[in-house]
Amino acid sequence: MKSLFVTLAAFAASTQALTGRTTNCCFHLTASGGASGTVGQLSDGQNRIGDHSLSTAQFCISSDGSITDGSGRGCILTPPTTQFQCDQGATPESGFSISPSGLLEFQGSSEFLACDTGQNGGRNIHVTPSKDLGQCVIVELKVDSCAPSTSTVPSASSPSSTSCPTTLSSGNFEFPHLIIPVDSKSPNTAFGTSFNGKVTSTISSIFNFDIPRADSGKMCNLVFLFPQKADLQTSSFSFSGDGKINFSKLSKAATTSTTFQNAPSSSQDLGDITISPGHSFVVSTFSCPAGETIAFEMKNAGTTDLDFFEDFNPPPIGLFITVC
């Protein structure tokens, strides 16, 4: 994965163009997407979403795309997890901008990760997926001021995101090559391949992914994409219950003969995620096992009843692996 830490010289022209209308402009942030709420700040400068015990944080952006907080501390992306926080005496990270629609961006991308801290319901803000992080969801951060007019945004000079995308484009994603439902009510029945992913109180779904040899040395991002039903063009879904789903990596791939009874065992529990329509979820990030077939299972972790047609047509729905 490419480093997120780039020199000012590489992006000075584009960053200044994007933020030329926001020199020394101050704002507050509100998150939406997989997590929502105002961005607060701990006394040590960590910025968090969802911790209602924290005061709302203030930030100021300069013409070089760097941000400081209300206390004058430089806001940085701490290695190795690229956590967005503001430290006393730190040189602020450049590369930030504000879009005409009022979204905070880093290197041209408005997608950030909000990852569980286990403290007061708070989530830290990160830029790049990492296996060192806990459960994460994708969010956007909207400013309450400082958005430039559309005419100030260059048409082709915005730097692209260096984090694994959650949107699908040609060549950057893997579609499941086999989807196998298994049912504890019929433990010895092999239902064979399916075009749908299904999760109920008794049914879980196994997804096989073939990772090309060309992905050697790259990072893989397991994501679950769940758009609003009204936005779907060629797919549909039914959904009820609390939305809790457990994801796990399996010890080997499934086959068309796989049943509940002989299904591969779990080799890694990837945790529970509460899904809801209109959101995208980062399940896991890992080094791509080039040339291998790997399998993941979705099963009920609460009262979820979900049935969806896996589809990569816009807007995509289902379990995918993006590659960067």
Question: Measured between alpha carbons, how far is 253 from 296 in angstroms, rounded to an integer?
Answer: 8
Which amino acid does the sequence have at 84? F
Pairing of strands 203-210, 178-183: antiparallel
Q: Are 75 and 93 in contact (CB under 8 A)?
A: yes
Question: Measured between alpha carbons, how far is 285 from 288 in angstroms, rounded to an integer?
Answer: 9
DSSP 225: E
Radius of gyration of the chain measured on its C-alpha atoms? 21
Cis peptide bond prior to 80, omega within 30° of 0: yes
Q: Top-level CATH class of 8-152?
A: mainly beta
What pLDDT does 161 receive?
35
Question: 173-323: same fold as 8-152?
Answer: no
What pLDDT does 254 receive?
97
- Which is it for the CA torsion 197, 203, 204, 207, positive or negative? negative
What SS3 state is found at 10? helix
Q: Which of 153, 160, 146, 144 is nearest to 110 (CA)?
A: 160
Which amino acid does the sequence have at 318? G
Prediction pTM value: 0.54
Residue by residue, pLDDT tens for the chain (324 residues) are 333 333 323 333 333 333 333 346 888 999 988 888 999 999 999 999 999 899 889 899 998 889 999 889 999 999 888 999 999 999 999 989 988 888 898 988 888 999 999 999 999 999 987 777 878 888 889 998 887 754 322 322 233 334 566 667 656 888 999 999 999 999 999 999 999 999 999 999 999 999 999 889 999 999 999 999 999 988 999 999 999 999 999 999 999 999 999 999 999 999 999 999 999 888 998 999 999 999 999 999 999 999 999 998 889 999 999 988
The CATH number given to 173-323 is 2.60.120
Beta bridge partners of 195: none
What pLDDT does 246 receive?
96
HSE (side-chain half, CA atoms, 13 Å) at 220: 23
Q: Which of 308, 294, 281, 273 is nearest to 203 (CA)?
A: 308
List, in order, residues 6 or more apart from 169 with CB less than 8 Å away: none
Q: Are 266 and 250 in contact (CB under 8 A)?
A: yes
Domain ranges within the chain, ordered by starting residue? 8-152, 173-323
List, in order, residues 6 or more apart from 155 with CB less than 8 Å away: none
80 token code pair: 């190795």
What pLDDT does 51 receive?
92
DSSP 255: -
Q: Helix, strand, coil shares of the chain as percentages rounded to 5?
A: 5, 40, 50
Instruction: Sort residue 203 into left (φ over 0), alpha (ψ -120 to 50) or beta.
Output: beta
Q: Which of 233, 220, 205 is nearest to 295 (CA)?
A: 205
What pLDDT does 6 receive?
32
